[in-house]
A and B are shown apart, each in its own frame.
Chain A
Amino acid sequence: MSKLVIKNLHVGVETDSGTTEILRGVDLTINSGEVHAIMGPNGSGKSTLAYSIAGHPKYTITSGSVTLDGVDVLEMSVDERAKAGLFLAMQYPVEVPGVSVANFLRTAATALRGEAPKVRTWVGEVKEAMNKLAMDPAFSERSVNEGFSGGEKKRHEILQMELLKPKIAILDETDSGLDVDALRVVSESVNRVKAEQNLGIMLITHYTRILRYIKPDFVHVFAGGKIVEEGGPELAERLEEKGYAQYVKA
């Protein structure tokens, strides 16, 4: 069992006119096997939460704490956070020209496992994971994210999640830009990895659509840089009907 604990997290970005606060006291605990949906309007700070936990250099933690199984995450470098078991599926995965998907995946797996995976079993592992995501095997020869369609990028993120076996995964708007078929395939993979690896999931989304495929245990409404309401799946249904207007006004 793993436990990600976020306590009173305040995060800002440096601008010309000083530090602008984006997160204003976030409290959230995610255990293995749980799905937490973070829902909120654009600009509410959802992605900032995701990137801060992953350690993006753009964000400055001004106060609060993030721990994984009691260990301080904020003290770790970006790669150490991944080694500790955190994974961020990005909304906008970055292109790395000239680096093949195969090379990238193998380098990442080597770093996380502490030794290079055995070639024969690794190739099979990758093939199987790609097959489950309905990805063409030729995909592994392409440069990381370069020229990928929106759907291909998201599948590639989930492929990494499957192969790198994190304890807690943050899915940042994994549903955006996906058509219904792609959404179904990606959701099935997320559910499978969750079941197989007892993954804890922070599912960041603007829309309730993905929640029909990935059932949340908890729903948190995010507005103005913090969680303003919490509940079960029924909260998502209410949001579907009424939208975020009531929270934005506040």
Chain B
Amino acid sequence: MMSALPTNYLTPTGREEAWRFTPLKRIAGLHDPATLVADRISISLVGSVRSGFKVETCEASDLPPKSATDDAVIQRIRSGVAKVTHLAIDKEAVVTDPIFLKRSAGAEKEFSRTVITAGAHSKATVVVENVGLATLGEEIEIRLDAGANLTFISLQEWSENSIHLGRHHAIVGRDATFNSITITVGGSLVRLLPTVEYSDQGGSAELLGLYFATDGQHLEHRVHVEHGIPNGKSRVTYKGILAGAEARTVWIGDVFIRGNAEGTDTYELNKNLLLTDGARADSVPNLEIETGQIVGAGHASTTGRFDDEQLFYLMSRGIPISDARRLVIRGFFGEIVSKIGIESVEERLMTRIDNQLSKVGE
């Protein structure tokens, strides 16, 4: 008989720092060993296979995780999943058109593990589209070999009752460039861990994020950048809008610069715009620096309502207040959305955001 003790011992209660913001009763027991969770391949390639990469299903034992995690749900996923989806981008391949991976979760609770490997000096953009109804725990581990340049876009466009707990972890190799854009607009409860570590010097990571919570949504992003290697660079910019009395967002920005990580250059920023009373945005930037030999380190966090000066400026040019507000909101979103660089995706997101805005009446 397997000992249930270690896992039981780690089951979150809600009192832990990592879980204190998350309403545990709304995560369908995904954290609880007593909950039965299916193991299913839910990621598939959109369109046909092209040259420069391949997508295949592997035995989990052939593709074990290369990163450590203390997250109870992710540990459950790792121990419970038998098959792993592997997107492998060939060494030196330049894949010009984005690689779209679509999530088709089933009706039941399920776990998923995905590994993306970007071969040395490859260049590609990967888009993961999370749509529809799901109760999902998932991990995507992204490994960048030397000189690889990968843009990883994860879109949480879930339908309203979806529950999504996930970790998107990048391991950035020597002189590699990891750009990520995380957009979360759908779902009842989404808790994501966009995390980065460096396996060699000269790596660079940019993490952009955008979340929009309307009434009843809990959208949580727990960024963690681990500078444990010299001469790494990171930039984190997450922006959120909240509308509706029960709209709830959490942003944690942990950046750790370890004692040996000399030459680190990092900056993180979180901005939240509250459109209505009662919405709550928690924003916790946390920068820990164990060496003074760095290029730069900083963080900033703002949470507030409409900037009266912006509205005044726009209105003084004849723009009515409702249009002025819409411009400011669209601008706020647009700053991140426009970085996607895929017109169809950008338009789809802005349309969805507009629709959600019109429902809350701004």
Interface of A toward B, CB cutoff 8 Å: 54-57, 77-79, 81-83, 87-88, 90, 93-99, 103-104, 107-108, 111-112, 143, 160, 164
Contacts and interface: CB of A to CB of B under 8 A. Distances in A.
Interface stretch (B153-161, B325-333, B341-349): B325-333
8 contacts: A77-B315, A78-B315, A79-B316, A98-B331, A99-B334, A107-B314, A112-B318, A143-B331
B46 interface: no
Interface stretch (B11-19, B107-115, B225-233, B305-313): B305-313
A167 to B, nearest CB: 13
B317 interface: yes
Contact of B332 (A82, A97, A108): A97
A14 to B, nearest CB: 14
Given A88-B316, A94-B313, A79 B321 contact: yes
A97 B318 contact: no
B335 interface: yes
B320 interface: yes
B316 A81 contact: yes
B277 interface: no
Chain B binding surface, main DSSP class: helix
A98 B333 contact: yes
B319 interface: yes
Given A56-B312, A90-B313, A108 B318 contact: yes
Query: Size range of the interface on B?
Result: 20 to 34
The 9 closest A-B pairs by CB, nearest first: A98-B331, A82-B318, A99-B331, A108-B317, A78-B315, A98-B335, A94-B313, A112-B318, A98-B334
B282 interface: no
B327 A160 contact: no
Contacts of A79: 315-321, 324
Contact of B327 (A88, A93, A99, A164): A99
Contacts of B319: 79, 107-108, 111
Given A79-B318, A98-B334, A143-B335, 16 more contacts: A55-B312, A78-B316, A81-B316, A90-B316, A96-B313, A96-B314, A97-B332, A98-B330, A98-B338, A99-B328, A99-B331, A104-B317, A104-B327, A107-B323, A108-B319, A164-B318
Contacts of B313: 90, 93-94, 96
Contact of A55 (B316, B317, B335): B316
B320 A98 contact: no
Contacts of B327: 96, 99, 103-104, 107
Contacts of B321: 77, 79
Contacts of B335: 97-98, 143
Nearest to B320: A79
Contacts of B334: 98-99
Contacts of A95: 310
Interface in B94-120: none
Nearest to A54: B316
B331 A97 contact: yes
B269 to A, nearest CB: 12
Contacts of B310: 94-96
A77 B318 CA distance: 10
A194 B316 CA distance: 20
B309 A94 contact: yes
Nearest to A114: B318
A157 to B, nearest CB: 10
A176 B77 CA distance: 61
A96 B328 contact: yes
A136 B309 CA distance: 27
B317 A164 contact: yes
B228 to A, nearest CB: 33
A98 B327 CA distance: 9
A97 B307 CA distance: 11
Contacts of A107: 314, 319, 323, 327
A39 B321 CA distance: 33
Given A82-B318, A108-B319, A94 B331 contact: no
Interface-centre pick from B314, B316, B320, B330 (highest chain A CB count, 10 A): B316
